Amino acid sequence: MSTTAVWSLYSLEARTRLNGLGLPYGRKSGTIAPPSVEFSYRDYLRGLIDADGSVGHTNRGFPFVSLTTASSAIASCLCDYGKDVTGVGRTPGRNIRDGIHNVLYMMEAAQRLAADLYYPGCLSLERKHAAADSLSAWVRPTGMRAAYTARRWSDPEDRALLELNSPEAAAGVLGRTVKSCDIRLWRLRNGLVPMPGAG
């Protein structure tokens, strides 16, 4: 049995405020983008994966996290955040059949991303959280080719990022994307990763 819920918002003031935060009017699937104000990347992306993504195991038992979206901005946001968390780069291209972005993380990258997004006590769909928790038990089979080694952030890079205090400036200096620097700076400021020299 299918259940549909419709949320109607009639307050012009509320609609105007939501639009000011980056929520477009009308059909949103192709035009929606991350908020235009400071926000929690991982909580935002977890909400999107709860709604339009998948978390689980393939039929061969490999862990995966995926998101399907028509929005290039949303696909890019997940790719940039995913690279910061997992070290694995993804290119947010559209598929030929329907022009939709399918962003997919597999194996260790999926484990790292799921553990980051679905942290203990977070607000999420219970079944998605349970699926995310189940990914941690997977171990790469003996003899399977080694996983990609992530490019981790170093203390000197974190110091440079904090000193420059500008994702745009840091991207050029550190050889990383602006979005990656923006996410890392946000994670440092909000205590999600240790400050340089603290660990």
Could you list the residue range(s) of the whole structural domain that residue 58 is in? 27-139
Last residue of a domain, one of 89, 112, 139: 139
Number of domains in the chain: 2
What global pTM score does this model have? 0.70
Same domain, 35 and 133: yes
105 and 52 belong to one structural domain: yes
Q: CA 193, CA 189: separation in Å to the nearest integer?
A: 9
Are residues 51 and 84 both part of a single domain?
yes
* CA 94 distance to own-chain centroid: 18
Q: Is residue 3 part of a domain?
A: no
Q: For residues 75 and 163, give the distance between their C-alpha atoms in angstroms, rounded to a whole number.
A: 29
pLDDT at 2: 64
Are residues 91 and 180 both part of a single domain? Answer: no
Residue that terminates a domain, selected from 139, 159, 185: 139
Q: Is 17 inside a domain boundary?
A: no
CATH number at residue 76: 3.10.28.10
The predicted pLDDT at position 164 comes to 93
How far are the Cα atoms of 4, 36, 45, 100 from residue 15, in angstroms, in the given order? 22, 15, 22, 27
Query: Which is more confident, 152 or 51?
Result: 51
Q: In this structure, is residue 1 part of a structural domain?
A: no
**Between vectors from CA 132 to CA 131 and to CA 137, what angle results, nearest 5°?**
90
In the predicted structure, residue 113 carries a pLDDT above the cut 90: yes
User: Is 78 a residue whose pLDDT tops 90?
Assistant: yes
**102 and 44 fall within a common domain:** yes
- In 3D space, the residue among 174, 167, 168, 169 whose CA is nearest the CA of residue 188 turns out to be 167
Flag whether 21 is in a domain: no
Instruction: Note whether 41 and 132 are same-domain residues.
Output: yes
Q: Are both 109 and 193 inside the same structural domain?
A: no
155 and 111 assigned to the same domain: no
Unique residue bearing structure tokens 């003899």: 143
Nearest to 69 by CA among 98, 117, 29: 29
Task: Give the pLDDT confidence of 9-42 residue by residue, as tens digits.
Answer: 889 999 898 888 877 787 777 788 898 888 999 9
Residue 38's pLDDT is 87
Among 125, 129, 176, 124, residue whose Cα is nearest residue 153: 176
Residue 145 located in a structural domain: no
pLDDT of 1 above 90: no
Same-domain pairing of 100 and 188? no
Same domain, residue pair 195 and 103: no
Place of tokens 């997940």: 78
Q: What is the pLDDT of residues 138-159, one digit of tens each?
A: 998 888 876 655 678 999 999 9
5 in any annotated domain: no
Q: How many CB atoms lie within 10 A of CB 93?
A: 11
Q: Which range has the worst mean pLDDT, 1-10, 58-67, 123-132?
A: 1-10
- How high is the pLDDT of residue 150? 62
pLDDT band at 134 (very low <50, low <70, confident <90, very high): very high
The per-residue pLDDT for 85 is 93
H/E stretch holding 86 reads: helix 72-86
117 plus 181 within the same structural domain: no
Last residue of a domain, one of 139, 159, 191: 139
DSSP string, 106-121: EHHHHHHHHHHHS-TT
Are residue 38 and residue 85 in the same domain, yes or no? yes
pLDDT at 149: 59
Q: Is the pLDDT of residue 5 over 80?
A: no
Banded model confidence at residue 72, pLDDT cuts 50, 70, 90: very high
